[in-house]
Amino acid sequence: MLGAIVGDMIGSRFERNNVKRLSFPLFVEDCRFTDDSVLTFAVADCVLNGSDYAATIRRYAREYPDRGYGSQFLDWSLSDSAGPYNSYGNGSAMRVSPIGFAYDSEETVLEEAYKSAAVTHDHPEGLKGAQAVALAVFLARTVGDKELIRKRIKVQFGYDLDRTIESIRPTYEFNASCQGSVPEAIIAFLDSENFEDAVRKAVSLGGDTDTIASMAGAIAQAYYKEIPVEIQREVWDRLPEPLSVLLAAFCAKYPV
């Protein structure tokens, strides 16, 4: 889960100012946590406490406003009665990583990923994106075989994972759909040599950088099992106490 927060913070300043290269300072003063992190914390809260996905996601969105939420999600979050809105946006996938870290059976991971997405993103692509990221995290954590992960995600979800970051980067543009960003995030992980490299490759694509880096960072943490201490320190220093307490509790209960 920490890897998702890292990716979000590093990618946050590049979303509308794409860098399109691997060499850039990881952290500067204006790096911040966005809606990707807030809603990841909401799902982690649900996992830890067995709380309702819809109610908890709404509560976190209201407690941490002005973090870059999409307009449809924002309308949903401010209504206690709104149902899902048939979204295929990557919001379902960006928040799902705690499920891949917490559960020990593939069946449960896929079931919970579906539930966490369906409260908002009940479009088939929205559901698929969440399940793909959760399964990639689970497989990275438990199997640790990149080619198996590539094959399983390709076969089960139909994503084209035979591309490379170098081939995608030149023409890649902003795309906030699951189908237009989840495969790219997974490829950033598959092409990487270590955790930092995965995040840098994700950011270098451009587009929805915080979300792509958040998804890639979660999978990379599950696979590489460690995040450099200096990177972790930057993240902890930027989190308000309620979120840092929740993150510490989650990491303690579900170590990689």
Within 8 A by CB and 6+ apart from 161, the residues are 150, 153, 154, 183, 186, 187, 190
Return d(Cα 76, Cα 54) in angstroms, integer. Answer: 10
| Global pTM exceeds 0.95 | yes
Domain ranges across the chain: 2-253
Predicted confidence pLDDT, tens digits, the chain (256 residues): 999 999 999 999 999 899 999 999 999 999 999 999 999 999 999 999 999 999 999 999 999 999 999 999 999 999 999 999 999 999 999 999 999 999 999 999 999 999 999 999 999 999 999 999 999 999 999 999 999 999 999 999 999 999 999 999 999 999 999 999 999 999 999 999 999 999 999 999 999 999 999 999 999 999 999 999 999 999 999 999 999 999 999 999 999 9
The string of pLDDT tens digits covering residues 196-218 is 999 999 999 999 999 999 999 99
DSSP secondary structure string, 8-73?
HHHHGGGTTS---SS-S-S--TT----HHHHHHHHHHHHHHH---HHHHHHHHHHHS-SS---HHH
Return d(Cα 231, Cα 159) in angstroms, integer. Answer: 31
User: Is 208 strand, coil or helix?
Assistant: coil
Q: From the options 1.10.4080.10, 1.10.287.130, 1.10.240.10, 1.10.600.10, give the CATH code of 2-253.
A: 1.10.4080.10
